[in-house]
Chain A
Amino acid sequence: MSVAADITRAQRQAASFGVSSVLLGLCFAAACAAPFVLNGYGLYVLTLTGVFALVALGLNLLTGYAGQISLCHAAFFGVGAYATAILTQKVGLPYLLSILVGGLLTACIGAVVAVPAMRLKSLYLAIATLGFGVVLQKIIFEWRSLTNGGGGLALSPPAIAGYELGATGLYYLTLALVTLGIWGAWNVSRGRTGRALLIIKESEIAAGALGIPAARYKVIAFAISAFYAAVAGGLFAYLVRYIHPENFSVGLSIAFLSMVVIGGLGTIGGSIVGAAFYVIVPELLRGIKDAPGLVFGLLLVIVMVLMPQGLWGLVRRLGRRA
């Protein structure tokens, strides 16, 4: 997609802002009302969607805007989950504070991972980040004194200010953090950083000629993206209440990347839609006897072949027509 297309797109969006803000408000109201309608299982699926949407938001900043592929987001997600769990259970920090600390810690790791990314491109970068993912996962596995290794870590329900968080509480916390995450991603993408990242994706040489330090912005993008993944990890740990190093393998990283691409690269709405597709569709397909994988795989192929710009492109086209 060229920069010119982005500019015309931005103008068109500004024109239809009234309609889309009404739709956005409706979606938000529906999300707030969901716990009163859904049963426990439905609420779990929706919370999981929110958690993955948060990862996808962060990964989209990195892959969609800056054009950097990462296959270690599952490991960032895992480090966030373990850091939050350990800080809450063993150190005794309040839940929200340990999510924040876990996020900042993982952001630092993300910045370190970004160092080889300054020189690597496409598949080379994918394999290097994949390597970091394997290393981080292995460290979690082998640091038994801290993480209990292959035994996994069982967690008790989290509490905020003495009030124990049930499934509904965790759902609202996730909703609040996703809202914050959307707001943050919106600001980053519209601001100086987002525009710099878009140029870096188009051409690093052009970015350099404009005085944009590509290396620094790549590190920033990796750090922000890792922060999102880690916060989501902190939520995930207490959603499932039992975490195991095997949860955070390469397969999950690939799933995160698929969410971003299915939803739509470089769009905020796409991250949400992509995560919803990836979580909810397999759950719906569970009833089909011995072929859920077949149908899901086919849907994946069909969505990509018919909508190479992702599901969000379709949503936007329908919105424009309406």
Chain B
Amino acid sequence: MIANLIVGGLAAGCLYAMVGIAIVIVLNITDIANFAQGEMAMVTTFFAYWLLDSVGLTWWQAVPIAVLFGLVQGIVIQQVVIRPLIGSPVLSAIIATLGLNIVLNSVAGLIWGHQTYTFPSPFAFSPPFMIGTVPVSVDSVVNIAAGLAIVIAMTWFLRFTWIGLGLRAASQNPTVARMMGVSISRTSAIAWGLGGLVGGISGILVAPSLFLDTNLMGALLIKAFAGGVLGGLNSLIGVFLGCLALGVAENLVGAYLSPAFGEAITFIIIIAVLIVRPEGIFGRVKARKV
């Protein structure tokens, strides 16, 4: 019983984690909490669906193209909306992403309507793994593996490549980074491109577990933020584990404590954790010079 609940929680948690990672990449480098991330991923997923359904590509052909589309989408949005706002209050940029959220949602609604679609997955008909007596769906395993792969790849990229070092420098101290020859405007564009790319992957992996419609990401976005805060926003692995923990906690609280207050108790747990550790479980205190 409890093993089933934990596995179910992990399956939900890895959906949050996929969105969470995309949000955190943008957040850490540009300080902007991107409320449009979910809708950007939704549009990318619909684009993938269009490639599969109308153009007739196979899954393995359509997904790389769609992910590339996500990358371009992120860069275009950064150039049009975010670049003019560099240097303005961060809240203005956040509200702009909120507006973008509404725009993308309506545009998707105009193009694809408001009915639901079933997004195919190449793993849909594989038999579930058995861990002991607990069945684990292949989708969840693929999601967790993909999430871990993204975390490792991003960590490597940020630590060991010149571009990644530039991104981290720009997030720590824009002025000094600029003096060292890092273009702030370009790092912001790269961050948004990466966010769009990872968001696209997450949308495509999440969609088979849910139904594809224009509100695909609405429920996941807030949970991803909450899981990210629980884990600690400045550590990618922290965000990943935080989101998984959130999924498991929701399932356990709902089953054992109170189904009605499940969500509320989950948030009380998050608040309690934040009172003890204001930077999240895995977060480090960001050193700031005064």
Contacts and interface: CB of A to CB of B under 8 A. Distances in A.
B99 A135 contact: no
Interface string B253-290: 00000001101100110110011001110000000001
Q: Binding site of B, secondary structure by majority: helix, strand, loop or mixed?
A: helix
A261 B91 contact: yes
Given A203-B290, A301-B100, A308-B92, A124 B274 contact: yes
Contacts of B278: 119-121, 124
B153 interface: no
A302 to B, nearest CB: 8
Contacts of A310: 92
Nearest to A116: B275
B85 A135 contact: no
Interface string B97-137: 01111111111011000000000000000000000000000
Given A265-B89, A291-B106, A135 B264 contact: yes
A297 B81 CA distance: 12
A176 interface: no
Interface residues of B, number: 44
A203 B289 CA distance: 11
Contacts of A290: 109-110
Contacts of B225: 123, 126-127, 130
A301 B81 contact: yes
B268 A205 contact: no
B161 interface: no
B104 to A, nearest CB: 8
A297 B100 contact: yes
Q: Binding site of A, secondary structure by majority: helix, strand, loop or mixed?
A: helix
A296 B102 CA distance: 8
Contacts of B261: 138, 142
Interface stretch (A25-33, A47-55, A235-243, A250-258): A250-258
A312 B98 CA distance: 20
Contact of A297 (B27, B101, B260, B264): B101
Given A294-B106, A299-B99, 8 more contacts: A119-B278, A265-B89, A294-B107, A300-B102, A301-B99, A304-B96, A305-B84, A308-B89
7 contacts: A123-B233, A135-B268, A294-B102, A297-B99, A305-B85, A308-B85, A309-B88
